[in-house]
């Protein structure tokens, strides 16, 4: 739900009854929407007049409904005026382009709720999902009314003629400020310049910020648009409190352990890292102290990522560790001096994964990827390149897989995280733009939130070879100075978060003990385990496992080579370690909950006596029998 100050208090959806179909109004009521937001009340009438729309409004202001409602109404009106046997009843009338697959799922879910009472009249197809190519082609063969996709998928289907846009009425580009930066710039230009689109159609551009990319799309897609700019109140910056801590690479783990274990942050938290390896390292480290968390990265298939986000939103997990790999390829500042370094590092910092989103050679790729990761785990004698844990001989193959990774993955924008209390930048992003998108995951819908960023100084970088040497951390100070300038221009100030290091130091030996257990082998084993789980649960490989049951048995019974050592005593924090200022929490002070029973004597003083069975104090004769052997020698 949108926050109160973004809702138009002077209007209701029922006031649009002369513009909107009764089935749409009924669906909106079922979904809990009584009043439109400011951007919706302005955009819906203009869109129904046929005007092109350029809407700039912050995340959570209702931009999705602002374009979904009018396009659904236009489809219903167009079909109502056509004879029943007209071929125009079945044609793609609306194309919605989004930058990430996660966002395509959310838009599809909203549209399904909106067309609940007219689903026989309007057919939806999300072809950006992880379904196989032939299944997506089958969906497009039915000529759906609304197609939701990413630009790269759309271009592929247009080139193969599986999708025709000859009858297109409306084109929507959601998150327009990201659509080009996510590697879709060439795809967008080919879609607009390849004679795939009709000469006349209505366009919508929805964006949270106005950037050069949006200006480029404006020139490509819009004709004399109505520009809607939702002004943000001054209290938006006040709802987000930003902190930063300058620390070493090892102290990142120490402070994270203290913050989460002592529950210094109340509520759900997103921890951003810049590398998939660090994602699993941090998860295994937190597991040492029985802190449950889930991971989100581009190696996971779309369905798994979507399920993880849903579990986090439902409260199954309080902490989610998200790998933000967009910082190195999509969100660089224009004057960033480290662009080339980031691109070089991006090719070498990942191991091969199962490309479950790809439609060809799934079984071969899965087996090959699993074999590579396992060979890395078992071999300790291979030479490793500096700053990378992958062996040299298979670097070219891994670069191929890297290019084949899901480039349409993104967590800093487009993913709907609910009720996030804190964003913890475990690894600082590589640009100020990426930082803005990360901290935008909290302090939403009128709630307050905080962000905490760890900044590694240049003299501290690379001191710990085991957990450090992250290339992006080299430029932390330079990037942080840019972040401070940009936030100051927005009216926000990043405060220094001062820990009492004397009290924090008491936890260092426990942190080091936990960190020692998270070896490179344990990290690789965790990734192998994730791969096995995805392969076993893969819908695409079900038929293969039915034909080859031994393959499934091998996967299920294959034991971990280097299981992570979890010590039971690390779960609780002893009372003597607790800082004096911190409240004693039941999660780590179980001893406080036990009732005080006072002195307990060594001997049992029960009224029933100490005897067992029939030989107790109340046995035959009421007296214990004497031992005849003792009397024999008297």
Residue 319 sits in a domain of what CATH number?
3.40.50.300
Q: Do 394 and 373 meet the contact criterion of CB atoms below 8 Å apart?
A: no
Cα–Cα distance measured from residue 323 to residue 280, given in angstroms and rounded to the nearest whole number: 10
Whether residues 203 and 243 share a domain: the answer is no
pLDDT tens-digit profile of 93-105?
Answer: 999 999 888 888 8
Q: Is pLDDT at 347 greater than 50 in this prediction?
A: no
User: What pLDDT was estimated at residue 433?
Assistant: 80
pLDDT tens, residue by residue, 281-333: 999 999 999 999 999 988 887 778 888 888 898 999 999 999 987 654 444 55
Looking at the fold, whether 23 and 136 belong to one and the same domain comes out as: yes
Alpha-carbon distance 54 to 56, whole Å? 7
Distance CA 401, CA 472 (A): 21
As a whole number of angstroms, the distance between CA 571 and CA 502 comes to 22
In a domain, 362, yes or no: no
- Helices then strands, each counted (H, E), the chain: 25, 14
- pLDDT by residue (tens digit) across 372-389? 445 444 444 344 444 444
Same domain, residue pair 185 and 274: no
Please tell me whether residues 224 and 240 are part of one structural domain.
no
State whether 105 and 239 are in the same domain: no
Tell whether 247 and 176 lie within a shared domain: no
d(CA 19, CA 43): 13
pLDDT at 462 over 60: yes
Q: Is residue 50 part of a domain?
A: yes
Per-residue pLDDT at 412: 54
* Alpha carbon distance 393, 395 (integer Å): 6
User: Among 479, 473, 480, 424, which Cα is nearest to 452's?
Assistant: 424
Residue 242 has pLDDT above 90, yes or no: yes
Q: Is the distance from CB of 243 to CB of 499 less than 8 angstroms?
A: no
Does one domain contain both 21 and 122? yes
Distance, in Å, from the CA atom of 80 to the CA atom of 226, rounded to the nearest integer, reads 27
Name the range with the highest mean pLDDT among 73-77, 376-380, 416-420: 73-77
- Residue 96 main-chain phi, psi, to 5 deg: -110, 115
Q: Are 190 and 239 contained in the same domain?
A: no
Any domain includes 583: no
Does residue 245 come out as left (phi exceeding 0), alpha (psi in the -120 to 50 range) or beta? Answer: beta
Q: Is the pTM of this model over 0.75?
A: no
Q: Are 286 and 319 in contact (CB under 8 A)?
A: yes
pLDDT at 561 over 50: yes
Rg of the chain on CA atoms, in Å: 30
Among 207, 229, 251, give the residue marking a domain's end.
229
Domain boundary among 198, 229, 260: 229
Residue 311 belongs to some domain of the structure: yes
Is 388 inside any structural domain? no
CA distance 136 to 302: 15
Are 198 and 165 spatial neighbours (Cβ–Cβ below 8 Å)? yes
| C-alpha to C-alpha distance for 128 and 152, rounded to whole angstroms | 9
Bigger pLDDT: 468 vs 207: 207
Query: Is 60 exceeded by the pLDDT of residue 609?
Result: no
Residue 431 DSSP class: S
Q: For residues 342 and 357, give the distance between their C-alpha atoms in angstroms, rounded to a whole number.
A: 25
Q: Note whether 218 and 241 are same-domain residues.
A: no
Query: In this predicted model, what pLDDT tens digit does every residue of 504-546 receive, in sequence order?
Result: 888 999 999 888 888 888 888 888 888 788 788 877 788 888 8
As a whole-number percent, the residues of the chain with pLDDT over 70 amount to 72
Average pLDDT rounded to a whole number, residues 461-486: 83
Question: What is the rounded distance in angstroms from the CA atom of residue 222 to the CA atom of residue 501?
Answer: 56
> Is 114 a domain residue?
yes
Residue 585 lies in a domain: no
Q: Which residues contact 565 (CB under 8 A, 6 or more apart)?
A: 517
Question: Do both 240 and 215 map to the same domain?
Answer: no
Q: Are residues 134 and 253 in the same domain?
A: no
Same domain, 503 and 468: yes
Number of domains within the chain: 2
Show which of 202, 229, 256 is a domain's final residue. 229
Q: What angle do CA 83, 88, 89 make, to 5 degrees?
A: 70
Residue 354, domain member (yes or no): no
Q: Whole domain around residue 78: which residue ranges?
A: 4-229
- In the chain, what's the furthest Cα-to-Cα distance? 124
Min mean pLDDT across 183-187, 453-457, 493-497 is at 183-187
CA dihedral 481, 322, 434, 57 (to 10 degrees): -130
d(CA 451, CA 269): 9
**Surface-to-core class of residue 453, CB atoms within 10 Å of its CB (0-12 exposed, 13-18 middle, 19+ buried):** buried
């Amino acid at each position: 739900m949108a926050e109160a100050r973004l809702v138009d208090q002077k209007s209701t959806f029922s006031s649009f009854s002369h513009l909107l179909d009764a089935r749409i109004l009924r669906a909106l009521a079922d979904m809990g929407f009584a009043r439109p937001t400011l951007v919706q009340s302005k955009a819906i009438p203009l869109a129904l007049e046929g005007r092109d729309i350029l809407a700039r409004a912050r995340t959570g202001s209702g931009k999705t409904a602002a374009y979904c409602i009018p396009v659904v109404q236009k489809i219903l009106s167009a079909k109502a005026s056509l004879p029943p046997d007209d071929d125009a009843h079945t044609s793609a009338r609306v194309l919605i382009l989004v930058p990430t697959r996660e966002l395509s799922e959310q838009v599809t879910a909203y549209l399904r709720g909106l067309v609940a009472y007219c689903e026989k009249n309007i057919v939806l197809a999300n072809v950006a999902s992880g379904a196989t190519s032939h299944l997506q082609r089958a969906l497009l063969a039915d000529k759906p009314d609304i197609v939701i996709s990413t630009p790269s998928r759309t271009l592929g289907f247009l080139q193969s003629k599986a999708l025709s846009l000859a009858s297109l009425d409306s084109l929507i580009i959601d998150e327009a400020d990201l659509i080009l930066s996510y590697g879709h710039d060439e795809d967008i230009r080919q879609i607009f310049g390849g004679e795939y689109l009709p000469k006349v159609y209505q366009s919508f551009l929805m964006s949270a910020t106005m950037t050069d990319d949006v200006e480029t799309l404006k020139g490509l897609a819009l004709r004399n648009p109505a520009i809607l700019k939702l002004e943000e109140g001054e209290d938006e910056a006040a709802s987000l409190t930003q902190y930063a801590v300058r620390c070493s690479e090892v102290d990142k783990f120490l402070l994270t352990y203290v913050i989460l274990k002592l529950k210094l942050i109340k509520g759900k938290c997103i921890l951003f890292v810049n590398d998939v390896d660090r994602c699993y390292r941090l998860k295994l480290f937190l597991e040492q102290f029985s802190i449950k968390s889930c991971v989100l990265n581009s190696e996971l298939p779309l369905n798994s990522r979507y399920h993880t986000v849903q579990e986090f939103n439902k409260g199954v997990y309080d902490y989610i560790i998200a790998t933000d790999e967009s910082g190195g390829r999509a969100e660089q500042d224009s004057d960033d001096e480290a662009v080339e370094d980031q691109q070089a590092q991006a090719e070498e910092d990942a191991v091969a994964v199962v490309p479950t989103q790809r439609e060809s050679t799934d079984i071969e790729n899965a087996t090959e990827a699993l074999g590579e990761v396992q060979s890395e785990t078992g071999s300790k004698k291979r030479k490793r390149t500096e700053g990378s844990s992958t062996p040299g001989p298979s670097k070219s193959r891994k670069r191929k897989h890297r290019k084949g990774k899901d480039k349409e993955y993104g967590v800093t924008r487009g993913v709907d995280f609910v009720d996030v209390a804190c964003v913890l930048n475990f690894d600082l992003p590589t640009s100020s733009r990426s930082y803005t998108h990360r901290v935008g995951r909290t302090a939403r819908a009128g709630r307050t939130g905080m962000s905490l960023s760890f900044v590694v100084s240049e003299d501290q970088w690379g001191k710990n070879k085991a957990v450090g040497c992250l290339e992006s951390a080299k430029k932390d100070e330079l990037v942080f100075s840019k972040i401070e300038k940009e936030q100051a221009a927005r009216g926000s100030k990043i405060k220094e978060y001062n820990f009492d290091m004397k009290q924090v130091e008491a936890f260092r030996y426990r942190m080091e003990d936990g960190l020692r257990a998270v070896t490179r082998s344990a990290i690789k084993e965790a990734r192998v385990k994730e791969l096995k789980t995805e392969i076993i649960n893969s819908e695409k490989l079900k038929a293969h496992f039915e034909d080859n049951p031994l393959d499934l048995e091998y996967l299920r019974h294959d034991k971990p080579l280097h299981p992570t050592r979890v010590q039971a005593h690390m779960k609780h924090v002893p009372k003597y370690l607790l800082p004096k200022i911190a409240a004693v929490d039941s999660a780590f002070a179980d001893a406080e909950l036990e009732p005080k029973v006072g002195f307990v004597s060594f001997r049992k003083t029960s009224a029933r006596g100490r005897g067992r069975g029939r030989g107790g104090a109340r046995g035959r004769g009421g007296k214990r029998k004497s031992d005849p052997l003792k009397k024999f020698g008297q």
